[in-house]
Each structure stands twice: as structure tokens, then as C-alpha cells.
Amino acid sequence: MGGYLKRFKRDPRLKKEEIITSRVPHGVYEKFKNHCDHLGLTMSEAVCLLIKKEVEDEDIQKYTQEYKTTTNQIQRNIQRINKNTNVVKSKKFNSSRWKIDGKLPCPKCGTWSNSGNFQRDHYRKHGFDSLESFFSRYGEEADLMVEERKKEEENA
């Protein structure tokens, strides 16, 4: 049987005012009575000590649970803050790598257009919504047109 009650001796200073009546199975009653007799406690004293411990433990458990809840909330908030700090800003698309003499190649048409007009509206004629989407689709062909144009300028 448990050793909790072994730690206590009679404390005549405690004023006991309330009476508790309880019904327990006969076997439990006998074991508890023998245990109390062995320890030199009355059953009333043992029950009083057990009830006192239960009530005090409840207060400690409430405090512990509140502490755990508060600590967990703080940790979760810290993690949320850390997750939001990894924001990456994207660069604006730049078409200057294909620009030669103020003109941009259009691999779809096979022509060279003024870069201002091209950036403003030429790519839309081919069904693209942005200059970036146009060159992501036709970038390799545009690179070939730029290489050809540079070779022509070197030979001229």
C-alpha cells in the first residue's frame, strides 16, 4: 500500500470541525483500517490527511497547468514571428540583355522593334500579358536573334 501517510504523525494542533461519512467496499475498509493501525493513525486522521493532500495538489496542478499553457502560447507566438521574417522580394523583370541599338527582337515575328513600343504593347499582339512571360517563353530564340545580329554588326 502507498507510503504517503507514513510521513505524518498525529498533529493535535489541527482543529477539525467538519464530519465526513463515506461508504466503501468491505475489503477496502479492512485494508485501510489495518494500514492506519500499523501507522498509529486513526482512520479519521488518515482520511483528513488524504483530503488535504488532494485539495492542495489540485491548487498546484492548476498553477502548473496555467504555467504550461502560458509557456506554450509564448513559444507558439515566437515561432509565428520567425516564420514571417523570411520574405523574399522579387526583382523587376529586365529585358536589357536582348536590347541592341534600342531595339528588342521578336522571335515570333522574326523582326526587331523599338524597345519602347515592344515593352508597351508588341508582346500583347502575340497573346502575352507581360514582357516577362513573353521572354520566358521565347528567351532562347531571342538569344539566337541577338547573336545573329551581333555577328552581322561585326562583319559589317
Do 71 and 108 reside in the same domain of the chain? no
Tell which of 82, 104, 131 closes a domain: 82
Q: Does pTM top 0.75 for this prediction?
A: no
Least confident interval from 42-46, 113-117, 118-122, 143-147: 118-122
Residues paired with residue 106 on neighbouring β-strands, in sequence order = 111
Q: What is the mean predicted confidence (pLDDT) over 53-69?
A: 66
Average pLDDT, the chain: 77
Handedness of CA 145, 147, 151, 156 (dihedral sign): positive
pLDDT for 12: 60
pLDDT digits (tens, 9 = 90+) for 92-135: 778 888 888 888 888 888 888 888 877 777 888 888 888 888 88
Whether 13 maps to a domain, the answer reads no
Longest dimension (CA), the chain: 118
Say if residue 34's pLDDT is above 80: yes
Q: What are phi and psi of 101, to 5 degrees?
A: 55, 40
The range of the structural domain enclosing residue 44 comes to 23-82
Do 105 and 137 reside in the same domain of the chain? yes
User: Do 95 and 115 form a contact (C-beta atoms < 8 A)?
Assistant: yes
Say if residue 30's pLDDT is above 90: yes
Do 67 and 112 reside in the same domain of the chain? no
Whether 18 maps to a domain, the answer reads no
Residues paired with residue 112 on neighbouring β-strands, in sequence order = 105
Q: Which of 93, 92, 88 is nearest to 104 (CA)?
A: 93
